[in-house]
Structure 1
């Protein structure tokens, strides 16, 4: 199974002047993970193959996201705030939406502070909003 290594990497072809902060590499271990995790990764790989020709974006890297969310331990089970066509936007709906967005951004952030493979424009504005622990 593939595993994303963040701020790690020693070897003849990797050199760093900042202790590999912001560097990410993939490492393959055929015995890693439980059978359920391997099944989930295979489903993500198959979905990637099916959507590859449609223009998959960097933030579509589901294997990376699954790993980072699992390692973060952050609870992402807040139910979504759904508003109907005629409903007014209220304080609770906005608060719920912002909490969900910030928790997801915290969950997919690497332990060294960067967002691996995230190249989206809004990510430029997000770091000041995220609470670093």
Structure 2
């Protein structure tokens, strides 16, 4: 498991999504899945027979059936938008429930997720494949701080802070970011545009 984590971290600039690798390993292990249908290998220019196609299809169906949850759905990660976790962390923090809800292991994995999806320039994109933007970078930086990462600790937090400052500062975040900054009390509500009900 740790080897899979390290492999993802090392290749994070080539493969942005984790493909549910760890979840799949755990799920298959819990179900004691063992693939008994042999793999079909087809060489270049080799004719694919009906039998080969049927065997490959049966192998795939058996594998997908093993990944299906008891209620019929296939659990999967939602590794798209980077700003979805931030309001959750902020709400837990301001209500004083962060310590009670998030164990050290939860924090470690949340930080690992953020570290793995930080762009080389120090920021985060609106989703895991986008260029860095102010909104995602500000909210991710806030999460790092809420989760206990010091501003100068390690390169991740320092790089994010530098990206924010180099691009004009946190006040350049759009309204959604300004609202969360105001909720935290670090930005005046008068700087937020009115939001109609």
- TM-score, L = length of structure 1: 0.50
Out of 1, 10, 16, the position equivalent to 1:50 is: 10
Residues 28-63 of structure 1, C-alpha deviations (whole Å, 9 max, x = no match):
xxxxxxxxxxxxx111111121122223325x2221
Equivalent pair of 1:68/1:109 in contact (CA under 8 Å): no
Query: Could you tell me how far 1:74 is from its partner in structure 2?
Result: 3.2
Aligned length: 78
State which structure, 1 or 2, has the greater radius of gyration over its C-alpha atoms: 2
**1:79 maps to what in 2?**
38
Q: CA RMSD in A?
A: 2.0
Moved over 6 A (4+): none
In 2, the alpha carbon distance for the partners of 1:71 and 1:63 equals: 12
Equivalent pair of 2:39/2:56 in contact (CA under 8 Å): yes
In 1, the alpha carbon distance for the partners of 2:15 and 2:57 equals: 28
In 1, the alpha carbon distance for the partners of 2:51 and 2:75 equals: 31
Equivalent pair of 2:20/2:77 in contact (CA under 8 Å): no
* Aligned pairs (5 A) from 1:1-133: 41-57=1-17, 60-117=19-76
Equivalent pair of 1:109/1:116 in contact (CA under 8 Å): yes
Equivalent pair of 1:74/1:103 in contact (CA under 8 Å): no
Higher strand share: 1
- TM-score, L = length of structure 2: 0.35
Higher helix share: 2
Q: Which runs of 5+ in 1 are unaligned?
A: 1-40, 120-133
In 2, the alpha carbon distance for the partners of 1:95 and 1:118 equals: 29
Q: Which runs of 5+ in 2 are unaligned?
A: 79-197
